[in-house]
Structure 1
Amino acid sequence: MADLFKIVKYEGDNSTFIWRSGVEDFNTGTQLIVHESQEAIFFMNGQALDLFGPGRHTLETQNIPLIRKFLSKPTNEQTPFHCQVYFINKAEQMSIKWGTDSQVQYMEPTYKFPLKIGASGEMSLRVEDSRKLLVKLLGTEKSLDKTGLTQMFRVFLMAKVKPYLAQTMQSSEFGIFEVDSHMGELSTNLHKQLIPDFADYGLSLERFFVTTIVKPDGDKAYESFQDIHIRQYADVANAQLRQQVGIIDQQTSAQKMVIESAAMAQKRAQEGYTYQSERAYDVAEKVAQNEGTGNFSSAGIGLGMMGGIAGGMGAMVAGITNDAVAPVDLKSPASTTAPTGSDDMTIFKQKLEKLKLMKDAGMLSNEEFDEEKKKMLNSL
């Protein structure tokens, strides 16, 4: 006699998608145990009759009709009904490797040249429709694990991934030389395109990652455009670097000037003179070097400026104007010969130039300059 009551439960591992129980041809009252993240499908005479979720189930007349005792005698107590249970693991299966078996050609979008690439990565799958997966893939096999599923889907993946990869790369905004920094975007695009294809087999493509792009290293066209691409960014980087260095040099020079000016101002304050005084020294030096006449007038201007720096400009200005209007001593041997009109004009021009130097140095105001000039004109 066949056992009246049996226990049917999953005895596979977690990497298995579908596993068929070794307990077959059981009778009414058999206990079916389905774990969490599993489903069980009851088959009789090659037909999937019912789907059981997690829990403990008693197989009763709705699954196995009570006609067994009437038909068992002619078959020597063996039931003519062939009963089986398939367990489907609905947990997400991760780290499933995939890769293109050959390179796919497309037109590189940035530089517009034909290019061949390959790709590989990982994906994770979960059973979404147990009945559809069982009917479409398993057939009469006893089990289906990750390795078997990968082998079954190898041709399928190549037929789908390769054109999707070419289309995505050709229509993308990034080129082959930037693809490494856009792996996430590429993976997302391919994932979206592959979801409906896996759904046709009752599978949910939970995750899809592109981890490697196989580039055509050694190809002359590829390496030529790679060199152009690198030089393009290198030239821009060098130009930006030179610009930054130039700005730094200018800032350094300006800062140096500020520091030197501050040091000079501190030196003047400690030595008790101002910028105007320093300019007056410069004017005095120019006047002293003036070879216009080499006479007492030039010496008087130079000495007067130096004296003006020490004690004021009044005496110096007076000296200039007094020279211009000083009476001529007829008894003096030096004045026996009266100066001609051209000599007077030469002396006047020299004194006027010296007054202009004093005005430019800030030692005379415009009003004072005009007044002294007027006195000199009146003396002619």
Structure 2
Amino acid sequence: MSFSFFRGQLAEVIQWKDPQPSVLLWKFPSVHDEIKTASKLLVGPGQGVLLVYEGRVATVFEAEGLYSLETDNQPFITTLLRLRTGFESEHKLHVYFYRRADNLNQPWGTATPVKYLDPVYHFPVQLGAHGNFSFRVADARRFFTEVTGLSDTYAVPQATRLLQSRLGQELAMQLATAGWSYQQLDAQLGALAANLREPLAAEFAQLGLELMDFRLTGTQFDAGTQQRIGQLAGAVANSQAAASVGLSYAELEKLNALRDAARTSGSLTGAGLQAGAGAELGRLLTSQPNPMPHAATDPAEQLQKLKQLFDAGVITATEFEAKKKAWLDKWE
């Protein structure tokens, strides 16, 4: 029998000497997966230990301290030691250390875009979301059974992916039922995070984890949603511009269509369309009823409307000057 074999059976201190903050579970390395005679177990601050006997969690140490695995009154250890024969036993034991300390401000982000229908403007929205969360291992036995299994290590980033895998569907449901438009999301991040925390905490609890804090710090729309938002913003701006000069949005769009057609047509056709746009503008400005009693007799107001149409690119400089001269001539 080799010396290395006997050396492997000498008493030792079983401990997690250099725990990394990013590691939640760590298996103590042992050649024969056995408790050695007179071995001691050191549980450091912020640590816990699971003794896994033949694939099942036999006991959990949650209090820090130094334990003698031969003399301490632990029912499982007493039973195991009685089973031992000589140096080696057919009854194998794994020792797992786990992190009991809090894991604070862990960043998260949605793995895939979240989709929902904007409840105000009724167009599809896709967005990503990001934030941070804090958690800890609350039930080590359940955590080992439901999540880590017999893995040698389990890291915090794996727990983050676990949260993200459950987040997308819950976030989509909350957005669909909250009734918030895309314009309101930035102002509602706190409320949305609070709504998400309760169902996520319940799912984490089933895995032996406690979700201590959950925050949503921002969202990012995908390219298609940004394009739809831009189109909507342009339509709103055009509608407001039309209203400011006494026109309806449909009438302004008609003028814009004439103008665009003129710019893309041949010279003669374009000239005819330009004339048509000018005539249509004149008809609208002279026939559009105005709720202000003095507006029809106020050339300054009419000239202001013309200037707004010119600034918006609806009429050309030539048309602006011609109409301005006509109004001035009329009121001389």
Do they superpose with TM above 0.5? yes
- Aligned equivalents of 1:212 and 1:99: distance in 2? 10
Q: Percent identity?
A: 24
- Aligned equivalents of 2:240 and 2:89: distance in 1? 79
Between the two proteins, the alignment pairs up a number of residues equal to 227
Q: Is the CA contact (8 Å cut-off) linking 1:169 and 1:175 kept in structure 2?
A: no
* Partner of residue 27 from structure 1, selected from 26, 29, 36: 36
Aligned-pair Cα RMSD in Å: 2.9
* Partner of residue 221 from structure 2, selected from 215, 218, 236: 215
- The answer for unaligned runs of 5 or more in structure 2 is 1-5, 243-332
- Aligned equivalents of 2:42 and 2:236: distance in 1? 62
The reply to whether residue 42 of structure 1 matches residue 51 of structure 2 is: yes
- Aligned equivalents of 1:207 and 1:138: distance in 2? 22
User: Structure 1 146/108 Cα, relative in aligned 2: closer, same or farther at 3 Å?
Assistant: same
- Aligned equivalents of 2:127 and 2:92: distance in 1? 51
The reply to whether residue 144 of structure 1 matches residue 154 of structure 2 is: yes
The reply to whether residue 176 of structure 1 matches residue 188 of structure 2 is: no
Give per-residue Cα distances to partners, 1:72-111, cap 9 Å, x unaligned.
3xxxx42322122111101121343322233222121222
* Partner of residue 89 from structure 2, selected from 57, 79, 93: 79
Moved over 4 A (4+): 217-220, 227-235
* Partner of residue 232 from structure 2, selected from 225, 242, 246: 225
Q: Counterpart in 1 of 2:199? A: 193
Give per-residue Cα distances to partners, 1:142-176, cap 9 Å, x unaligned.
1111133334x2xx633x32222122222225321
Q: Counterpart in 2 of 1:157? A: 164
- Aligned equivalents of 1:117 and 1:230: distance in 2? 24
User: Structure 1 168/97 Cα, relative in aligned 2: closer, same or farther at 3 Å?
Assistant: same
Deviation (angstroms), 1:66: 3.5
When Rg is computed on C-alpha atoms for both structures, the one with the higher figure is 1
User: Structure 1 177/58 Cα, relative in aligned 2: closer, same or farther at 3 Å?
Assistant: same
* Partner of residue 117 from structure 2, selected from 104, 107, 110: 107
Q: Counterpart in 2 of 1:89? A: 99
Q: Is the CA contact (8 Å cut-off) linking 1:4 and 1:26 kept in structure 2?
A: no
Q: Counterpart in 2 of 1:131? A: 141
User: Structure 1 94/185 Cα, relative in aligned 2: closer, same or farther at 3 Å?
Assistant: same
Please state whether the residue corresponding to 1:110 is helix, strand or coil: coil
Give per-residue Cα distances to partners, 1:321-364, cap 9 Å, x unaligned.
xxxxxxxxxxxxxxxxxxxxxxxxxxxxxxxxxxxxxxxxxxxx
- Aligned equivalents of 1:56 and 1:193: distance in 2? 39
- Aligned equivalents of 2:241 and 2:67: distance in 1? 70
- Aligned equivalents of 1:10 and 1:234: distance in 2? 70
- Aligned equivalents of 1:163 and 1:149: distance in 2? 17
- The answer for unaligned runs of 5 or more in structure 1 is 236-380
